[in-house]
Amino acid sequence: MASFSHCIICNAPQLLAMPAYAHSYLVRCKACNFVFCSEIPTTQTLSDFYSRYPVSNSLSQLTAKRYDEWLDSFEPFRKLNTILDVGCGDGYLLERAILKGWKVFGTEYTDRQVKQGIAKGINMHQGALDISNYAVNSFDVICSIEVIEHINNPMEELSKFNYLLRQGGAVYVTTPNFNALSHDYFKAQWNIITYPEHLCYFTKSTLINAFLRNGFKCSRFITTGISVKRYKQSVRNDRSIARSTDEQVRNKVEEKWYLRIVKNSINSLLTLFSKGDTLKGLFIKQ
């Protein structure tokens, strides 16, 4: 099995083994503190894993509302009227973008998702992001939602984002937070640490560092959320627990004004100390 000998963010050679995380081959860069998987999975390994990956069959009203809020926040960047969702899954975000008049583009790997995206009116390309499919500086906004942790070439990916975005365009990225409270609690048993699914483990500082090295500035950054589903999965060692566990909690919170206040207060504290389950950053091309 091939492996990395240098940091995949800063290229430093000093990689420190993390014995407690040996099951997922994790190392930490001594220079920039980035944590990633040193072993490079084969194409066959990835194909076998993702062929069993769960699929989503519906979009909840609450998630649709959140997507609309994201899209509203992108309005200041709307000059060319173009948005690209890298790893767009079943295309739900771009489906909402179409309703708001955006010209939408997406990438995905499976035949099913590509066909589904095309049926929804999304300009789809199959496979990894390929800049030859698009013109330089052709997008206002690029989204990368829970994707960057799945790849082991993040600097190449961010370089592509820079190439495709117009100057002043924005990247919105979300990814699990290696500095999360849930990771502090579960440590090596944290259910986010899974090989070959997750290959990069970002914190606020390492994610911002990666973007700065690729010509972006950080415009907005929050770290929010505590996943009930992840907690139950880790306690029970059962990854089959449904996503609906979190959805039920979110819906209950959304229904009560006082619970929304509690949620917002908790998220403010999680952001202050960078302890939420999810990193959410908006980065502007310089």
Q: What is the pLDDT of residue 252?
A: 81
Strands 82-86 and 103-108 turn out to be: parallel
Query: How buried is residue 267: exposed, middle or buried, by Cβ count under 10 Å (0-12/13-18/19+)?
Result: middle
Q: Where are the alpha helices (DSSP H) in the chain?
A: 43-50, 61-73, 92-99, 111-119, 154-164, 181-186, 204-212, 228-236, 244-255, 257-272
Q: What is the pLDDT of residue 245?
A: 60
Quick check: 8 and 152 in contact, CB under 8 A? yes
**SS3 state at 124:** strand
Share of the chain above pLDDT 70, in %: 93
DSSP label at residue 20:
G
Q: What is the pLDDT of residue 250?
A: 76
Q: Give the tokens for residue 80.
A: 């060319």
Instruction: Please tell me the class of the 61-285 domain.
Output: alpha beta
Quick check: 103 and 78 in contact, CB under 8 A? no
The segments of the chain whose pLDDT lies below 70 read 228-246
* Pairwise CA distance, residues 278 & 223, whole Å: 5
Is the pTM of the predicted complex or chain greater than 0.85?
A: yes
